[in-house]
Amino acid sequence: MTVDGKITTRNFSPVDFTSREDKLHLFRQRALADAVLVGHTTVERDNVRLGLPQADLREARIARGQTPYPIRVTVSNEGRIDNQLKIFQTDISPILIFSTTRMPRKFQAALREKATLHLTKSPHVDLAAMLRKLRSEYNVRTVACEGGATLFRSLLERGLVDQLNLTIAPYLFGGANAPTLTGLNKTFLPASVHCSLIDMRVIGDECFLTYRIKRKTKL
């Protein structure tokens, strides 16, 4: 995020405002996880594949007993996910979609050719149930969530985040309509989330922070 806490511009367009080092940092974190998770809007707008281009990171995974690439997971309540997105053109690891039976039948049929669908009858995906399923059915122990802000906020509100890796990039974007780390939701979080700083590195003009999420407090 920028110095003023923005994660993208007002148009939600993919903004390339961090260094090569930060991108590598992202890949290193992704490489540690059994599954990588992003919200539907990020899959769509950023058109990410969620792969691991670096052979050394894949080799390190294999040495740790992991698959070469993490399982790729996305969530959507509406389920109108375009099966032409880049993620579906890359057959490197399973793709799991957690959505609801609101997903139109046409989308279900198209997506089933490329991904495994987990559809709940309730109107919203239960994120805690999703994580339980990832653990019990896919042996997933660590999930790297790469945003976006709406999904991150949902996970935070439910107490499902235990670590936050945050890069402060040397820019200010301003603008009330530019999304922050927790999105555009105008309301405060139901409870403040207390973080504990466990690591801080400065490389060039960027600051790489690692927080352990402690607990929610009423402030």
Ligand X SMILES: NC(=O)c1ccc[n+]([C@@H]2O[C@H](COP(=O)([O-])OP(=O)(O)OC[C@H]3O[C@@H](n4cnc5c(N)ncnc54)[C@H](OP(=O)(O)O)[C@@H]3O)[C@@H](O)[C@H]2O)c1
Residues that bind ligand X (CB under 6 A): 7-8, 12, 14, 38-42, 45-46, 75-78, 124-125, 127, 146-151, 154, 183
Q: Which of residues 34 and 99 has its CB atom nearest to ligand X in the complex? A: 99
Min separation Cβ 50 and ligand X, Å: 11
Q: Which of residues 39 and 70 has its CB atom nearest to ligand X in the complex? A: 39
Min separation Cβ 26 and ligand X, Å: 8
Strand order in the sheet with 206-217: 163-168, 206-217, 192-203
Instruction: Of 99, 216, 100, 91, give the one whose Cα is nearest residue 162.
Output: 216
Strand partners of residue 194: 215
Residue of minimal Cβ distance to ligand X = 148
Min separation Cβ 83 and ligand X, Å: 14
Spatial neighbors of 39 by CB under 8 A, at least 6 apart, are 74, 75, 76, 147, 148, 150, 151
**13 DSSP assignment:** -
Q: Which of residues 59 and 86 has its CB atom nearest to ligand X in the complex? A: 86
Min separation Cβ 111 and ligand X, Å: 12
Q: Which of residues 68 and 183 has its CB atom nearest to ligand X in the complex? A: 183
CA angle, residues 154, 39, 133, in degrees to nearest 5: 75
